[in-house]
């Protein structure tokens, strides 16, 4: 199973070297990938429908609890079949749709990565693994939305989509880690066993909030829905595949998968029902006011996703069965409609429904596919949509929730609008008379019209004979959500009851709405655009950008000294906090040695030299001042038993002085740039830093000294290294390697000095 999940990644890697050979008709070979995977997963149908889920375990990072654990149960199988099945058709379609595109190989590579990641999401049993695949779907979606990367709108939409979905993914990660921490496992199966602990924990609400944030952003729920219409900038096969049939359902999948872990409480039900209800209503209403075919489909997809969230929120067995059925229903008809739209767009170069009509005369198979999908979307009897709709109404009518009437009403209104939207997208472009402008349009290659036709026929086939698909795929899926094995068989006919009446009302009103609604301009619903979350997010983005610009300009102003100043102020604050809150200051007299008059004299000279160096206006005086400081330190070393240091310091100081004087002799005197205020500020900062260092050094003096290492050197300097000067022995023997590298550093510095001195610039390089 690991190979099956990762196959897409392998293929996309292989496309890097071999992609250029596949740009012509050979790209058909790529269809083999989803087709084989579909066959592979279809082979599991008997086992899974018999109630025997398949597990596979590979250790990956066992120490962090991240393992390649895959778990194929009914719900996963439903999604796997959708992903690979629709994937196969979309690949076939894309071969023709993208024909001749210069980046065909890149397109299929992204698509394969996406497919693999999506399979990973629905198969992972480990929540952290699930998160990794989850983010991979966001990333591949980002690349696919921005596939036409020479188009500014495309780029912007892809960034918006990534920002929303990855932002949600980030919160989801927090939620999953928290859930894993509370239940002490990263396996979803084990979490189900300990769901009572999770639900009674005080952090349960937070886990829910974070998981909802991930699911809502991914599945385009209000108020995060706006990235989905923007994502329609992607090539149409991508819209059909990612943004309608599979990826956006990852959020639904997550909610369904976690239902046995987290679901069933009021904290679960109320937010999902409210958000799902808002989303399905808004999406459906907005969709019929749109004129662009893809936008109609985008908003009706948002609405359908809302329906699914709503159903999972209601959470009764009927509702969850309805959700499982509706996932399949929606994938079948919406993918068909998208593919049909893609054909129309590809052949006529327009997606404006007010300009499209009569296309049935030119592309009959496409018209049939569109009409069948529209009928399924409307829920006409004998389509799978009819069964789905029935189940939804049954679910809302039989909930134990208080607002039964309102919920059912919302569902009915949503469906009325969806019926109308489906007709707009699937039927309207094909009816009426053919305008002159479109008479040159012809039927595309059968690679393009066959996939939607197959999907549409499947919708009818499953609708007319629901028995097989019901027992072998949909009921196991519903059983996996509810975590028990029960499930009632799907029926075409439920008898004359309230549900049927509601269905009839829906279809009739939807059809009437379609027939009598004039195509209104998009601006005629100010109320809906006023609550558009898109603007809010845009404004937030602007604020963030403004803040970062301000921050960069203040903090990164390009002046070395202001960087230094900030670093030092920060260090001062940090150290001061520590010193003030640390142990009280005390001077241990035990370690203080006596002081003699010549030491005081040397220190006095040193202080005077420092004063001279800092205040002098002459460069030479300042340099001489530093040398005096160096010689004073040299004397200190002499007093305190460090003859080697004294010699080195003496030599180095002399050399530095000579170098300074030779090189800088001709430079002008210091210019006094700073005003007294700046100097006062710098003075305060540097003095407080110096004082703090002094205090810390004083505290360090109170610490006991470790002399083990010194003793080792003292005892072994002669016995082992035959040297009497211990400092020398340490440098050239015990730490000889370090000294050698020090010599290397000095040689490099010497080379630098030498080449800088000998560098002769061409006149053009001089200013």
Partner 1 sequence: MEILLLILIALLYSTGIYMLLRRSMVKLLIGLGLLGNGVNILIFLLGSITKGKPPVIDDKASLFRDIYADPIPQALILTAIVISFGLQAFAIVLLKRVYVLVNSDDLDDLNTPEEEDI
User: Within positions 677 to 736, which residues make up the interface with partner 1, using CB under 8 A?
Assistant: 682-683, 685-687, 689-691, 693-694, 697-698, 700-701, 705, 707, 709-710, 713-715, 717-719, 724-727, 730-731, 735
How many angstroms separate the CA atoms of 455 and 337, rounded?
Answer: 10
User: Which residues in 645-684 contact partner 1 (CB under 8 A)?
Assistant: 645, 648-649, 652, 655-656, 659-660, 663-664, 667-668, 670-671, 673-674, 682-683
**What kind and span of H or E run contains 71?**
strand 66-72
Q: Do 340 and 333 meet the contact criterion of CB atoms below 8 Å apart?
A: no
Question: Which range of residues in 129-137, 427-435, 545-553, 586-594 is near partner 1 by CB under 8 A?
Answer: 586-594
Which residues lie below 8 Å from residue 468, measured CB to CB, with a gap of 6+?
none
How many angstroms separate the CA atoms of 765 and 767, rounded?
Answer: 6
User: Which residues in 29-48 contact partner 1 (CB under 8 A)?
Assistant: none
Q: Which of 402, 523, 581, 641 binds partner 1 (CB under 8 A)?
A: 641
Q: Which of 202, 593, 763, 764 binds partner 1 (CB under 8 A)?
A: 593
User: Which residues in 553-572 contact partner 1 (CB under 8 A)?
Assistant: 558-561, 564-565, 568
Q: Which of 287, 629, 631, 635 binds partner 1 (CB under 8 A)?
A: 629
User: Which residues in 485-504 contact partner 1 (CB under 8 A)?
Assistant: none
Which residues lie below 8 Å from residue 709, measured CB to CB, with a gap of 6+?
none
User: Which residues in 57-96 contact partner 1 (CB under 8 A)?
Assistant: none
Q: Do 469 and 485 meet the contact criterion of CB atoms below 8 Å apart?
A: no
In the complex, least distance from residue 553 CB atom to partner 1, rounded to whole angstroms: 14
In the complex, least distance from residue 579 CB atom to partner 1, rounded to whole angstroms: 13
By C-beta, is 465 or 718 nearer to partner 1? 718
In the complex, least distance from residue 668 CB atom to partner 1, rounded to whole angstroms: 7
Specify which residues 67 forms β-bridges with. Answer: 59
How many angstroms separate the CA atoms of 1 and 54, rounded?
Answer: 9
**In 3-state terms, what secondary structure has residue 759?**
coil
The torsion angles phi and psi of 226, rounded to 5 degrees, stand at -70, -15
**What kind and span of H or E run contains 246?**
none
Distances (CA, A) of 238 to 21, 68, 86: 23, 28, 11
In the complex, least distance from residue 694 CB atom to partner 1, rounded to whole angstroms: 3
Specify which residues 61 forms β-bridges with. Answer: 66
In the complex, least distance from residue 23 CB atom to partner 1, rounded to whole angstroms: 44
In the complex, least distance from residue 632 CB atom to partner 1, rounded to whole angstroms: 9
Q: How many CB atoms lie within 10 A of CB 311?
A: 32
In the complex, least distance from residue 673 CB atom to partner 1, rounded to whole angstroms: 4
Q: Is 578 in the site for partner 1 (CB under 8 A)?
A: no
What is the four-CA torsion angle of 484, 485, 491, 494, rounded to 10 degrees?
A: -50
DSSP per residue, 467-495: HHHIIIIIHHHHHHHHTSS--PPP-S---
By C-beta, is 532 or 656 nearer to partner 1? 656
How many angstroms separate the CA atoms of 644 and 634, rounded?
Answer: 10
**In 3-state terms, what secondary structure has residue 445?**
coil
By C-beta, is 413 or 565 nearer to partner 1? 565
In the complex, least distance from residue 550 CB atom to partner 1, rounded to whole angstroms: 20
By C-beta, is 489 or 643 nearer to partner 1? 643
Q: Which of 527, 592, 597, 737 binds partner 1 (CB under 8 A)?
A: 592
Nearest by Cα to 490 from 478, 500, 501, 506: 478
By C-beta, is 361 or 679 nearer to partner 1? 679
In the complex, least distance from residue 744 CB atom to partner 1, rounded to whole angstroms: 11
How many angstroms separate the CA atoms of 648 and 411, rounded?
Answer: 89
In the complex, least distance from residue 570 CB atom to partner 1, rounded to whole angstroms: 13
By C-beta, is 197 or 674 nearer to partner 1? 674
By C-beta, is 35 or 575 nearer to partner 1? 575
User: Which residues in 410-439 contact partner 1 (CB under 8 A)?
Assistant: none
How many angstroms separate the CA atoms of 460 and 384, rounded?
Answer: 6
Which residues lie below 8 Å from residue 139, measured CB to CB, with a gap of 6+?
162, 166
How many angstroms separate the CA atoms of 578 and 3, rounded?
Answer: 55
By C-beta, is 2 or 569 nearer to partner 1? 569
User: Which residues in 505-564 contact partner 1 (CB under 8 A)?
Assistant: 558-561, 564
User: Which residues in 285-304 contact partner 1 (CB under 8 A)?
Assistant: none
The torsion angles phi and psi of 380, rounded to 5 degrees, stand at -70, 140
User: Which residues in 742-761 contact partner 1 (CB under 8 A)?
Assistant: 742, 745-746, 749-750, 752-753, 756-757, 759, 761
By C-beta, is 200 or 641 nearer to partner 1? 641
Which residues lie below 8 Å from residue 462, measured CB to CB, with a gap of 6+?
328, 332, 384, 469
Q: Which of 196, 527, 580, 595 binds partner 1 (CB under 8 A)?
A: 595
By C-beta, is 530 or 592 nearer to partner 1? 592
How many angstroms separate the CA atoms of 423 and 417, rounded?
Answer: 10
What per-residue string of b and e applies to 341-367 under the rule 16 or more CB within 10 Å gives b?
Answer: bbbbbbbbebbebeebbbbbebbebbb
The torsion angles phi and psi of 67, rounded to 5 degrees, stand at -130, 155
By C-beta, is 51 or 683 nearer to partner 1? 683
User: Which residues in 186-215 contact partner 1 (CB under 8 A)?
Assistant: none
Instruction: Look at the chain and count its residues.
Output: 767
By C-beta, is 515 or 667 nearer to partner 1? 667
In the complex, least distance from residue 601 CB atom to partner 1, rounded to whole angstroms: 11
**In 3-state terms, what secondary structure has residue 124?**
strand
How many angstroms separate the CA atoms of 128 and 738, rounded?
Answer: 45
By C-beta, is 433 or 758 nearer to partner 1? 758
Total number of residues binding partner 1 (CB under 8 A)? 98
Nearest by Cα to 282 from 418, 375, 395, 424: 418
In the complex, least distance from residue 83 CB atom to partner 1, rounded to whole angstroms: 53
By C-beta, is 515 or 700 nearer to partner 1? 700
**What kind and span of H or E run contains 61?**
strand 54-61
By C-beta, is 52 or 588 nearer to partner 1? 588
In the complex, least distance from residue 627 CB atom to partner 1, rounded to whole angstroms: 10
User: Which residues in 599-628 contact partner 1 (CB under 8 A)?
Assistant: 599-600, 603, 606-607, 610, 613-614, 619, 622-623, 626
Question: Which range of residues in 93-101, 287-295, 544-552, 597-605 is near partner 1 by CB under 8 A?
Answer: 597-605
In the complex, least distance from residue 726 CB atom to partner 1, rounded to whole angstroms: 4
By C-beta, is 28 or 661 nearer to partner 1? 661
């Amino acid at each position: 199973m690991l190979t099956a999940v990762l196959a897409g990644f392998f293929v996309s890697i292989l496309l890097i070297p071999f992609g250029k050979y596949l740009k012509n008709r050979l790209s058909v070979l790529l269809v083999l990938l989803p087709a084989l995977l579909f066959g592979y997963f279809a082979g599991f149908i008997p086992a899974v429908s018999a109630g025997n889920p398949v597990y596979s375990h590979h250790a990956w990072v066992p120490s962090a609890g991240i393992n390649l654990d895959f778990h194929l149960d009914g719900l996963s199988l439903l999604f796997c079949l959708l992903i690979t099945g629709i994937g196969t058709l979309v690949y076939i379609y894309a071969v023709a749709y993208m024909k001749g595109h210069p980046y065909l190989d890149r397109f299929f590579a992204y698509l394969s990565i996406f497919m693999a990641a999506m399979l990973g999401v629905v198969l992972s049993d480990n929540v952290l693994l699930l998160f990794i695949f989850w983010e991979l779907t966001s990333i591949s979606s980002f690349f696919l939305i921005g596939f036409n990367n020479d188009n500014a709108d495309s780029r912007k939409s892809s960034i918006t989509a990534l920002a929303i979905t990855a932002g949600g993914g980030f919160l989801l990660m927090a939620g999953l880690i928290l859930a894993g921490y509370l239940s002490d496992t990263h396996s979803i199966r084990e979490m189900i066993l300990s769901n009572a602990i999770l639900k009674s924990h005080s952090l349960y609400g937070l886990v829910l909030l974070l998981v909802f944030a991930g699911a809502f952003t991914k599945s385009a729920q209000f108020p995060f829905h706006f990235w989905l219409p923007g994502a329609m900038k992607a090539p149409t096969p991508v819209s059909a595949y990612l943004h309608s049939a599979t990826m956006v359902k990852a959020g639904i999948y997550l909610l369904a998968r976690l239902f046995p872990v987290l679901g069933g409480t009021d904290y679960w039900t109320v937010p999902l029902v409210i958000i799902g209800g808002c989303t399905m209503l808004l999406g459906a209403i907005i969709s019929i006011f749109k004129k662009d075919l893809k936008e109609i489909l985008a908003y009706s997809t948002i609405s359908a996703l809302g329906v699914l969230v709503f159903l999972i929120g209601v959470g009764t067995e009927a509702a969850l069965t309805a959700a499982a059925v509706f996932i399949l229903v929606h994938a079948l008809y919406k993918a068909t409609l998208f593919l049909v739209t893609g054909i129309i767009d590809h052949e006529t170069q327009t997606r404006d429904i007010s300009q499209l009509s009569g296309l049935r005369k030119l592309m009959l198979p496409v018209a049939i596919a569109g009409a069948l999908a529209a009928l399924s979307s409307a829920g006409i009897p004998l389509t799978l949509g009819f069964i789905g709709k029935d189940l939804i109404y049954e679910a809302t009518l039989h909930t134990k929730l208080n607002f039964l009437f309102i919920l059912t009403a919302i569902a009915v209104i949503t469906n009325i609008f969806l019926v109308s939207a489906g007709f707009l997208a699937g039927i309207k472009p094909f009816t009426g008379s053919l305008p002159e402008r479109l008479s040159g349009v012809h039927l595309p290659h059968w690679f393009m019209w066959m996939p939607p036709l197959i999907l549409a026929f499947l919708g009818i086939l499953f609708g007319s004979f629901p028995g097989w698909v019901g027992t072998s795929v949909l009921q196991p899926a519903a059983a996996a959500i509810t975590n028990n094995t029960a499930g009632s068989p799907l029926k075409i006919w439920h008898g004359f009851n309230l549900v049927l009446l509601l269905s009839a009302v829906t279809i009739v009103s939807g059809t009437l709405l379609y027939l009598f609604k004039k195509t209104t301009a998009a601006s005629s619903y100010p109320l809906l655009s006023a609550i558009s979350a898109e603007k809010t997010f845009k404004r937030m983005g602007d604020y963030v950008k403004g803040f970062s610009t301000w921050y960069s300009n203040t903090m990164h102003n390009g002046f070395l000294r202001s960087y230094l100043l900030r670093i030092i102020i920060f260090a001062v604050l940090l150290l001061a906090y520590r010193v003030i809150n640390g142990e009280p200051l005390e001077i241990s007299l035990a370690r203080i040695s006596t002081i003699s008059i010549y030491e005081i004299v040397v220190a006095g000279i040193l202080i005077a030299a420092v004063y001279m160096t800092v205040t002098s206006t002459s460069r030479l005086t300042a340099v001489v001042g530093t040398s005096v400081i160096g010689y004073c330190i040299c004397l200190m070393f002499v007093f305190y038993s460090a003859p080697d240091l004294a010699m080195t310091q003496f030599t180095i100081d002399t050399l530095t002085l000579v170098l300074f004087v030779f090189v800088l002799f001709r430079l002008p005197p210091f210019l006094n740039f700073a005003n007294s205020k700046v100097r006062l500020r710098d003075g305060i900062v540097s003095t407080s830093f110096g004082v703090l260092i002094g205090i810390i050094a004083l505290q360090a003096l109170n610490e006991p000294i470790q002399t083990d290492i010194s003793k080792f050197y003292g005892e072994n300097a002669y016995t082992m290294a035959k040297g009497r000067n211990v400092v020398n022995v340490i440098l050239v023997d015990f730490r000889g390697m370090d000294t050698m590298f020090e010599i290397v550093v000095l040689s490099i510095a010497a080379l630098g000095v030498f080449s800088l001195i000998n560098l002769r610039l061409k006149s053009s390089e001089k200013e």
